[in-house]
Amino acid sequence: VNQNISPYSYSCREKLFSTAIGNSSEKTVTLNDSLTGKTVDLATALNREPANVLTMYVCGPTVYDAAHLGHARTYVQFDAIRRILQDLCGYKVAFFMNITDVDDKIVNRASEKGMDFKDLALEHETSFFRDMELLGVEKPLFSPRCTDYMDEIVSFISRLEDSGLTYHGPETGSVYFDTAKMESSGLSYGDLGTMNRGKALEEHESVYMENSEIDEGIQGDKRSARDFALWKIKDAQPCWPSPWGLGRPGWHSECSAMIDATAGTLRSDGCLDIHGGGIDLRFPHHENERAQSQSLVCDSCKNWTSIFLHTGHLHIRGRKMSKSLKNFLTIEMALEGGDDYDFPVMSPRQLRLLFLSQRYSAPMEFTTEAVQETLALDKQFSEFFANTRIVLSQNGEDYNDHKICNKWTKIDATFVGVISQGEEQIDIALRNDFDIPRALAQLRKVVKETNVYVNENESHPKLGAVRQACQLVSKYLSILGIGGGVSPFKCAVNGYDATLTFTNQSQARGEEIEVSQLLDILTQFRADVRNSLRSENPKGEIFKLCDKLRDEDLMRLNVHLEDRKGRSIWKKNNK
């Protein structure tokens, strides 16, 4: 028996193949529920059939200004979570994200600019989705706008009124939600607002007062600081008719009503599977949504939302992002630079990779060091695909050369085992509350081991093993939204920078321009070679032309040519 063929036991081989063909739906997915602070099994938390379809609603932006890095972090993280649930775990995700296109900030900003509030909101909504497309964030299944759902919002508030859960403020006549009445029915209020588990609600009264969006001058309207406006009576434009008078909906009621009218229609009980947003929305916004919807669609033994997920704060050099602190950074600044941006400029792919390098639920520090680490990681992936492309393209004909000894060795077997173990660890990480940083660490390990394997087998590394490593890295980068959805082999052949990027019309036009420029260079090079053959020293002239092609012409296209013994190779430089 050839000892080089199989150093693995049968059980190891069986594990390798079972990992590759196993049913992903049989594996568990655990999440950390923001409501309880506990780790829960997703299938158990859903507790319904069909369990492979889930509804997911993430609170969208209030569109009164350009999208900032806090937006980018939140929506990139939830996009990755959505992709993991769909592409790795096998769930069919119905993903909704609302647009708040009317509130005091929008109205005031529009007034300052002399614009109609709808025009301002549409301008920033369009800009927001353009930024999200650049960052590879997939579009929601549906994005309801508040102004399109006024009838549904009024109807939703009327249902709360019919349930005896509202009252009218004595000073303005605005409609408020009565939290005390809700609690008297056996439901609890404030669970999402309990910053430290076990502390009493009253200990956080000052925090609630600060975050509750109490309109200035009408605090006397409310019976309790915990109560919140459902419908604000206003005669100033914009306003809408209602049974209670002209006005606008409260922030919390509009979101609850839109959830009820969209994602809530996909379940017979009107409930929601996953509800998410930034940590600043946990209280009071999501708690107030929960109070309303729990009262209407659920009984006291059932949760309106099975799982709450929240992304952590983003800090710029240790401080919360704020215009007053002059550290307010937009997505455009990070991608294009500017006078107020003193960090390294990133590509959309690199910015996405930066956010995914941190746990979604943890606070994140945006620092020069963090950016530099991301640029290094991006370069590592880029060079990995460039180098493996060379191995696959230049050694691909070896199978047809019968003079080459082609045996399977322990080095080959060990390397394939590393790939299999890496895939298993990545799968475990992503299913464990979406631990993307741990998954990226495993991908880096596979990249490192592949480099070692190729160097140790410089003459004849097993192309199938190298291709398998490329497919593994490409597969999981694609799941994370970094891979652009290209096929693994195409990825390995064409390189990271050429294919693992976000495709759009401007990119396609750029690629057409590069091809045109390359053809121009080759045409001119041919003409110069022909002319040099007529010179007194054609050999020297041709060498000069070849150096010019390498050092000047191709470099303009971001192509790096390397001369090696008896051959040359090319690499696409990382932009």
Segment among 74-88, 94-108, 176-190, 315-329 with least mean pLDDT: 315-329
pLDDT attached to residue 502: 37
Please state at what angle helix 436-456 crosses helix 410-431, rounded to 10 degrees: 170
Identify whether residues 155 and 267 lie together within a single domain. Answer: yes
User: What tens digit of pLDDT does each residue of 301-356 get?
Assistant: 478 999 999 999 999 878 887 665 667 899 999 999 877 788 999 999 999 999 99
Identify whether residues 475 and 534 lie together within a single domain. Answer: no
Closest CA to 213 of 180, 252, 165: 252
Identify whether residues 410 and 486 lie together within a single domain. Answer: yes
Q: Is residue 23 part of a domain?
A: no
pLDDT attached to residue 33: 96
Specify the DSSP class assigned to residue 25.
G
Segment among 24-33, 298-307, 442-451, 503-512 with least mean pLDDT: 503-512
Q: Is residue 19 part of a domain?
A: no
Rg of the chain taking only CA atoms, in angstroms: 29
Identify whether residues 285 and 361 lie together within a single domain. Answer: yes
Identify whether residues 361 and 399 lie together within a single domain. Answer: no
Q: Is residue 9 part of a domain?
A: no
Segment among 8-22, 52-66, 92-106, 450-464 with least mean pLDDT: 8-22
Confidence bin at 155 (pLDDT 50/70/90): very high
Q: Is residue 258 part of a domain?
A: yes
Domain end point (choices 449, 479, 499): 499
- Gap between the Cα atoms of 144 and 146, Å rounded: 7
pLDDT attached to residue 322: 65
Confidence bin at 51 (pLDDT 50/70/90): low
Sequence-distant (6+) residues with CB within 8 A of 51 are 43
User: What tens digit of pLDDT does each residue of 549-564 get?
Assistant: 988 888 888 888 888 7
Per the structure, the count of domains in the chain is: 3
Q: Is residue 216 part of a domain?
A: no
Identify whether residues 482 and 553 lie together within a single domain. Answer: no
Strands 364-366 and 272-278: unpaired
Identify whether residues 152 and 43 lie together within a single domain. Answer: yes
User: What residue numbers bound the domain in which 554 lies?
Assistant: 506-572
Identify whether residues 490 and 510 lie together within a single domain. Answer: no
Identify whether residues 481 and 545 lie together within a single domain. Answer: no
Identify whether residues 394 and 444 lie together within a single domain. Answer: yes
User: What tens digit of pLDDT does each residue of 95-135 get?
Assistant: 999 999 999 999 999 999 999 999 999 999 999 999 999 99
Q: Is residue 306 part of a domain?
A: yes
Domain end point (choices 460, 478, 499): 499
pLDDT attached to residue 11: 36
Domain end point (choices 474, 499, 524): 499
Mean pLDDT of 521-545: 88
Closest CA to 425 of 40, 19, 80: 19
Identify whether residues 148 and 270 lie together within a single domain. Answer: yes
Distances (CA, A) of 244 to 101, 172, 220, 495, 562: 22, 11, 19, 62, 75
Q: Is residue 528 part of a domain?
A: yes
- Which stretches does DSSP call E strand in 289-329? 305-311, 314-316, 319-320
Identify whether residues 357 and 390 lie together within a single domain. Answer: no
pTM of the entire structure?
A: 0.81
The CATH number of residue 302's host domain is 3.40.50.620
Q: Is residue 43 part of a domain?
A: yes
